Amino acid sequence: MKPQKEPIHINAKKGEIAEVVLMPGDPLRAKYIAEKFLFDAKLVTSVRNMLGYTGYYKGNRITVMGSGMGLPSMGIYCFELFYYYNVQKIIRVGTCGVVNPIVKIPEIIVADKVWSESTFAYSYNGFTGHVVTPSMNLTNKIVQRAKESNQPIHIGSIMTTEVFGPYVNDEAIVERSPKELNVLGEEMEAFALIHVANSFKREAAAIVTAVDSKFSDKILSIEDREKSLDEMIKLGLDALI
């Protein structure tokens, strides 16, 4: 079945969305990024309050837009961006829970593999695998930008869950993950983004900041949380240009 002629969940006009997109989960974080980091940012879509802005970062045209929470929501928005707006690159910037004690709060993880036991990919197009690989071109650019700015990062696997880890027995999910992946963090959107992008033969990558950990009692202040997320956001923006 072919999708209808016009998108259902994005009301931007053709040409209002850039070829490269930075995608946080929270639409209000998209607003924050647009106001703090973009020049001449304009709201281009607001269906269901999923805000998207297009502006300029260091002279380069960029769109920043929320994805919502979970694989289905991410799947909807990234599909429409790729299919209807011919977006070429998307980097997810989000938060994660720590599942490996080598990661401390608020350190950054750049994903080189994403595992999920979800059936999202099978439902989407019959893909039976459970591990997807981000664009190494984009991923390597993120890593290079981190080196240039002396920003410490972890490079490794993350897992995308269908449930919010702190509310369930996430240790059982980690136990079911392939041991060779040595999963570092858990979140809820990256697998969908990477799979849809790979299916379109477009580029996508994922960066996440650790904000909670069962291995630590550390709680970030509002200021510390904002600073750590800003560092991740700048990595994503710089990699997209």
Question: What CATH number corresponds to the domain at position 133?
Answer: 3.40.50.1580
Domain presence at residue 215 = yes
Q: Has residue 60 been placed in a domain?
A: yes
Domain-embedded: residue 13: no
Q: Is 225 inside a domain boundary?
A: yes
Instruction: Indicate the pTM of the whole model.
Output: 0.96
Q: Is residue 104 assigned to a domain?
A: yes
The pLDDT of residue 226: 74
> Going by DSSP bridges, is the β-strand pair 39-45/52-57 parallel, antiparallel, or unpaired?
antiparallel
Domain assignment present for residue 158? The answer is: yes
Q: Mean pLDDT of successive 10-residue segments in the chain (241 residues)? A: 86 97 96 97 98 98 98 98 98 96 96 98 97 98 97 97 89 94 97 98 97 84 78 97 94
Mapping DSSP onto H, E and C, the string for the chain reads CCCCCCCCCCCCCCCCCCCEEEECCCHHHHHHHHHHHCEEEEEEECHHHCCEEEEEECCEEEEEECCCCCHHHHHHHHHHHHHHHCCCEEEEEEEEEECCCCCCCCCEEEEEEEECCCCHHHHHHCCCCCEECCCHHHHHHHHHHHHHCCCCEEEEEEEECCCCHHHCCHHHHHHHCCHHHCCCEEECCHHHHHHHHHHHCCEEEEEEEEEEECCCCCCCCHHHHHHHHHHHHHHHHHHHC
Q: Is residue 14 part of a domain?
A: no
Q: Which of 26, 112, 170, 212 is catalytic?
A: 212
- What pLDDT is recorded for position 1? 65
* 11 in any annotated domain: no
Position 3 scores a pLDDT of: 83
Is 212 marked active-site? yes
Domain residues for the domain of 162 are 20-240
For residue 60, the model assigns a pLDDT of: 98
Closest to 104 in 3D by CA, of 223, 187, 185: 185
Count of structural domains, the chain:
1
